[in-house]
Structure 1
Amino acid sequence: MTRLAASFGLASWVFTGGNPGSLLGLSGGRSLARPDMAEKEVQAARQMFLRAAENYSDARESTGVLLNRMAPEIVQSARQRLEGALKTFQDARRELQLVSEEQTRAYLVPEYLRTAKEKGAFIIAVVGNQSVGKSSFLRAFLDFEQPTDPPTTTAPVPYVYPTQSDLPCMFWDLPPLGAAGYPAETYMRLLGMRHFGLVVVMTDSKISEAELLLLDELKHWKVPYVVVRNKLDVDIEREFMAEQLVWDARGLKDGLDDSVRAEILCDTMTSVKEDLCCLYDVERVYCISTRRGYRKLFDYAELDADLRKTIQMRCDAENAPSKQIDSKQAAAAVLPP
């Protein structure tokens, strides 16, 4: 009952939301006159987005799969509110960029990437918020296993990926978004995000402003990227526990059988993918867990295979530009933007 009460309390808050854009006065083609006005609009839109993102996360965690099947409008309304706040925030930032002419500034290759760029290497960034699992993913992908969790990355860390061509391939484990020395406003410029051949954007259950700024930057410079949702096992375990509480309340201690677990797993992964595809405006999201016992589940094996195919095809193409590559083969191997 406590879970239900919390959920419907969230629902009443969600349903009272209006149009974020109209509250901030960002309707249709308005042109801001001064940078300070644009900055105020961005700050107001940012606060609205943060509140909506927090509400969306609370709604998902409070309802879970069971209640979401009975009352899907709770999470749907929270997502709609978040989508509206996100659009308002993005519109405000675009106006600020136009006022300050930031979009015309093409930043140079940073020093740490210069040698790799001069060698023509295919360079891949793995980026995300703190503790999202970037380093764990790289170590798993490159078979660099270790018994303890890797420390927080404080500077770009290179990893050489062996290829069968003469063209080198390097992964870069980048510092967390907004880490000390890398504020969100200048993160992309300081780390030269537009100079990567591919960016793996890792996220978890929280949707952050820094992730959205990063995706906007990648789209602006037409940098190929893929979104990877890590720690799905945490979401699944939470749903199992919530469902078991329902069965316990009914006096059915063994009610959570394999078929119910499989249904919960499928529903949770589908819901996470649909939400992120909509909010991040992408066609595909890979849901994974970097924990050893979970790597055969979800999309880890598919991501691993697609990433290796993409690297091989990109290196082959750069090494032999005249080589003809079948279009179907290329479409199957190259990760979607």
Structure 2
Amino acid sequence: MKARAEQEIQLDTTLYYNIAAVGISGSGKSSLINAILGYKDKDRKAAKVGEVETTSRPTAYVHPNLESMMIWDMPGVGTQRSPRETYFEKNFLCAFDLLVIVLGNRLMQDDIDIASKAKEHRIPVLFVRSKSDQAIASKEARYQGTREFTWAKAAGEFTLELLSIKKRRERQYS
């Protein structure tokens, strides 16, 4: 599969540590990449950002200070162009060194499916919650606590959600 990835999307597994930013369409993958690279959304070298499906094929960006790190902006999962059933294989995700699953408002089934397939292929996964400032502001209004309390509560809720998914999966396969 790595050979096909090298051929189809020019994934260089020899010179670069390849990181794929994946997740549902509109979750903030391109914005996260721009933030990591230090680009404003309007910069010439920045990943294209938009409210509609913007990334149609895997696109690589070299970090300006870490030349051996390549960050890939991947199409959003769960669209007509990138259905969940073929997303992992079609985008050669098994050839990447790390998958960063960018979450929007909540953990979705598509995110879980990507993480499960990554685990099968022994690819490390990092979950990143985008737009967390908006989510925290909303939670602060509901919980009426300090910012630190709200952050801790949000992190705890996410951890519990991941653990419950893990337990459901274990029951499903045992």
TM-score class, shorter = 0.7 to 0.9
> Is it true that 1:161 corresponds to 2:63 in the alignment?
yes
> Does the residue aligned with 2:25 lie in a helix, a strand or coil?
coil
Q: CA deviation at 1:169?
A: 2.1
Q: CA deviation at 1:160?
A: 0.9
Identity %: 23
Give unmatched runs, 5+ long, in structure 2. Answer: 164-174
Largest Rg, 1 or 2: 1
Distance in 2 (alpha carbons) for counterparts of 1:169 and 1:242: 40
Q: CA deviation at 1:147?
A: 5.1
> Is it true that 1:279 corresponds to 2:161 in the alignment?
yes
Query: Per-residue CA shift, 1:91-120, capped at 9, x if unaligned?
Result: xxxxxxxxxxxxxxx786434444513x44
Q: CA deviation at 1:276?
A: 2.1
Distance in 1 (alpha carbons) for counterparts of 2:41 and 2:61: 16
- 2:114: which partner in 1? 214
**Residue 205 to residue 156, structure 1, CA distance change in 2 (3 Å):** same
Alignment size in residue pairs? 155
Give unmatched runs, 5+ long, in structure 1. Answer: 1-105, 244-259, 282-337
> Is it true that 1:142 corresponds to 2:50 in the alignment?
no
Distance in 2 (alpha carbons) for counterparts of 1:230 and 1:163: 23
> Is it true that 1:191 corresponds to 2:91 in the alignment?
yes
Question: Which structure shows the bigger proportion of residues in strand conformation?
Answer: 2
The structure, 1 or 2, with the larger RCO (C-alpha pairs under 8 Å, 6+ apart) is 2
> Does the residue aligned with 1:211 lie in a helix, a strand or coil?
helix
Distance in 2 (alpha carbons) for counterparts of 1:159 and 1:193: 16
Residue of structure 2 aligned with 1:182, choices 82, 98, 116: 82
Distance in 1 (alpha carbons) for counterparts of 2:90 and 2:26: 21
- 2:125: which partner in 1? 225
Query: Per-residue CA shift, 1:114-154, capped at 9, x if unaligned?
Result: 4513x442111011112111111111111110359812222
CA contact under 8 A between 2:136 and 2:154: conserved in structure 1? Answer: no
- Give the TM-score, by structure 2 length: 0.76
> Is it true that 1:133 corresponds to 2:32 in the alignment?
no
Distance in 2 (alpha carbons) for counterparts of 1:220 and 1:108: 19
